[in-house]
Amino acid sequence: MSALLEAKGLSAGYGNVAAVRDLNLTLQAGEIVALVGPNGAGKTTALRALAGVLQPQAGEVQMNGQVTRAPVYRRVREGLAYLPEERSVFGRLTTTENLRIGRGDMGAALRLFPELEAHQRRAVGLLSGGQQQMLALARALACEPTVLLADELSIGLAPMIVTRLLTAIREAADQGLGVLLVEQHVHQAFAIADRVIVIQRGRFVLEGPPADMLDRIQELKSAYFSELPEVGDLA
């Protein structure tokens, strides 16, 4: 079975500068991969290159076994959902209008996060940050993607909201969605992930199951994250 998403020798960056180099990754159906590393390690650049926001400087990206250089909007049509670090909602539109833009099953989106039902006619800019992220994730999942790339969904959110978001992602993966997740709440991400990849200075330096990574957390901190004071900052 071919991977849903694959990177082979992928390098990407800005101008002539490569921010990530020689990345090799496979993402299978039903799998959540957590990508962690210190600030500036290349996590966001890696996701942008896999999504088609950035074109490779070297190597290649494959979707469903086929090499692609398509821009992000075409990859979305082929089954990709991409949630960037900045909240991807339209603040002047209502919740209902935002869901319609996604062209997914609106009923499914509201069943996923019933908290949104009372705000269907409200401008999204007036919603809380947690409600906006629920909306963004609900809209993405309602389109029934095969691959989800999610970059720091939890920034600035209460732990209870983070748990709601990550639980929804785990449930979607259990139905066959492949997920690559960048997440600052490392212990919560590890709790739902099947595999963890550590990125440092633009390269993947360590990979394994979450249980092994948790056992080695102090080693990880000293080896790769010495500039960070807390384990919770590992993303």
Which residue in this structure is represented by tokens 């969904």?
A: 153
Q: Domain spans of the chain?
A: 90-140
Position 94 pLDDT exceeds 60: yes
Average pLDDT, the chain: 90
Distance of alpha carbon 149 from alpha carbon 171, whole angstroms: 15
SS3 52: coil
Residues sharing a CB contact under 8 Å with residue 119, sequence separation 6 or more, in sequence order: 95, 127, 131
Tokens of 69: 């250089």
Amino acid at 166: L
What's this model's pTM, rounded to 2 decimal places? Answer: 0.90
The two counts, helices (H) then strands (E), for the chain are 9, 10
Q: In what order do the strands lie in the sheet with 80-83?
A: 80-83, 147-151, 178-182, 32-36, 195-200, 203-208
Query: What count of other Cβ atoms lies within 10 Å of the Cβ of residue 71?
Result: 12
Q: Is the predicted pLDDT of residue 228 greater than 70, yes or no?
A: no
Distance CA 169, CA 53 (A): 22
DSSP codes joined into one string, 120-157:
TTSBGGGS-HHHHHHHHHHHHHHT--SEEEEE-TTTT-
Q: How confident is the model at residue 231 (pLDDT cuts 50, 70, 90)?
A: very low
Q: What's the start-to-end Cα distance of the chain, in Å?
A: 30
Q: What is the pLDDT of residue 155?
A: 87
* 6 Cβ neighbours under 8 A, 6+ residues apart: 25, 26, 27, 61, 62, 65
* Separation of CA 107 from chain center: 23
Summarised one tens digit per residue, pLDDT across range 131-162 is: 999 999 999 999 999 999 999 998 889 999 99
